[in-house]
Structure 1
Amino acid sequence: MLIALAGVAAGTINTVVGSGSLITFPTLLAFGVPPVTANISNNVGLVLGNLSGVVGYRRELVGQRNRILRLGSASLLGGVTGAFLLLWLPSSAFDTIVPALIALGVVLVLVGPRIQRSVAARAASRGGVPDHGVWWVWPAVALAGVYGGYFGAAQGVLLMAILGIGVIDGIQRHTATKNVLALVVNAVAALVFIAVADVDWTVAGLIALGSVVGGQAGAGVGRRLPPVLLRAVIATVGVVALVALLA
């Protein structure tokens, strides 16, 4: 029951911001699930919650087909790469870079509007910003996908920073895009894990059940938040993720 409730909370947070794994992953460890099995089962369980969040934000996805297809390919490549890195590399490999990435993401979310104006002005002088964003958005989304496939906590913070600066659009539409990209990463990583790793299906099922409910709740909450408040929520979750990982 507690694992399912953790899934509800994670699904809600993932839809609005990301970092829901900071709730479910420690919960699984507290129940005695081995770390690698917990990480893998958590990823598999949260996929349906990601899908629920995408459905909840479907109105904001209207008109974003080309953007999703282009950036989704980056997430696909990154997610597969990150999943295999989790299986092949020692956990210490990302211990330094992960906190640094989250800290950078928080800073970029906070200063994003100012940087975006500068990026837009510079791009306008060169003919405008493409619908999928400036040139560095694709590789940045791919790198976020590598991180997401490897662990995933605060993947949404990084994606919101990338989209908020490099893609000219509103923050609610960026949230919808972020949900799709996170779904792609988690889904392809889950397929890799199911094929070659041990999944605790009881744990994954409980998290899936809870996160589906949470995904719908998160869509309702996130859509009501004004841009400034939503940005503050994203930054706060990012800071909590940073502190938790450093601790």
Structure 2
Amino acid sequence: MSWLEALLIAGAGLFAGGINTVVGSGTLVTFPVLLAVGLPPVTANVSNSLGLVPGSLTGALGYRDELVGQRSLLVRLAIASGLGAVVGAVLLLTLPAGAFKAVVPVLVAVALVLVVIQPLVAKRVAERTERASAHGGPLLLAGIFCTGVYGGYFGAAQGVLALGMMGILLGERLQRLNAIKNVLTMTANLVAGVVFVFVAHVDWLAVVLLAVGSMLGGVVGARIGRRLPPWALRGFIVLVGIVAIVKLLT
């Protein structure tokens, strides 16, 4: 790997760390870059999962104030996300390469619709039952498990999916949901990465370069994301999601 390729990977990690902290879809930047420098698809995918974990960690730490009072909910959803990631990692290693990715644009589009209508629907859910508003119920656990599966397999825009579902089923501010999202994506990437370490080839140089870049990006992303008003954050989520769909379809 040349120094220029190394710089390119680190730069992609920096951008992905920032965009993942604010909303998600950083994999749509890092994965193509890893392919461009010559990594095989599966190796690029598993290395990407491990390399973006530090960025999710610094992003979650940047949102630590928004996590206050959400410990019980966070633990439940993180377990669901982690279990889903194990399934997703196994699918990556056993299914044809294009089998799961074929439905990704549809999933992202659904997530964007959920984000847009979230204020209205969340209000109605809160009026209907306080329990659903506070914990999301089995439906949210199932949904986060599915995003974990997706995250373990590929992961692009898993943050958008998680935000969309939590926004509908939880009566919380978007910034607090974004804080939870950062922990969930970190959990999915970490668990899938651990599985990959034992059963797949990992390019450790790429992992280190992505980790350094994404760690810094997570810090920057948290500082920017926490200052965005709800309407701006929601608009940015929709914009990133649309770009994600376009890139996945081309």
Q: What interval of TM-score do these two structures reach, taking the shorter chain for normalisation?
A: over 0.9
**For residues 79 and 101 of structure 2, what CA distance do their matches in structure 1 show?**
27
Normalised TM-score (structure 1): 0.96
1:224 to 223, 227, 233: 227
Q: Show CA shifts across 1:172-199 (max 9, x none).
A: 1000000011111111000000111100
- List structure 1 segments (4+ residues) > 4 angstroms apart after TM superposition: none
Equivalent position of 2:157 in the other structure: 154
**For residues 83 and 133 of structure 2, what CA distance do their matches in structure 1 show?**
21
Q: Superposed, which structure 2 residues align to 1:34-183 within 5 Å?
A: 34-124=40-130, 128-129=131-132, 131-183=134-186
Aligned residue for 1:225, secondary structure, equals coil
Shift in alpha-carbon separation, 1:208–1:165, aligned structure 2, 3 A? same
- CA shift at 1:120, angstroms? 1.5
The unaligned stretches of length 5 or more in structure 2 are: 1-6
Normalised TM-score (structure 2): 0.95
Aligned sequence identity (%): 54
- The reply to whether residue 196 of structure 1 matches residue 202 of structure 2 is no
Give the letter for the 1:45 counterpart.
G
Equivalent position of 1:5 in the other structure: 11
**For residues 44 and 65 of structure 1, what CA distance do their matches in structure 2 show?**
25
Of residues 163-172 and 94-103 in structure 1, the stretch that sits farther from structure 2 once superposed is 94-103
The unaligned stretches of length 5 or more in structure 1 are: none
Shift in alpha-carbon separation, 1:130–1:110, aligned structure 2, 3 A? closer
- CA shift at 1:32, angstroms? 1.4
- CA shift at 1:132, angstroms? 2.0
**For residues 169 and 108 of structure 1, what CA distance do their matches in structure 2 show?**
15
Aligned residue for 1:96, secondary structure, equals helix
Q: Show CA shifts across 1:34-60 (max 9, x none).
A: 111111111111111111111111111
Q: How many corresponding residue pairs?
A: 244
Shift in alpha-carbon separation, 1:227–1:158, aligned structure 2, 3 A? same
Give the letter for the 2:79 counterpart.
S
> Is contact 1:71–1:132 with CA below 8 Å preserved after alignment?
no
> Is contact 1:37–1:200 with CA below 8 Å preserved after alignment?
yes
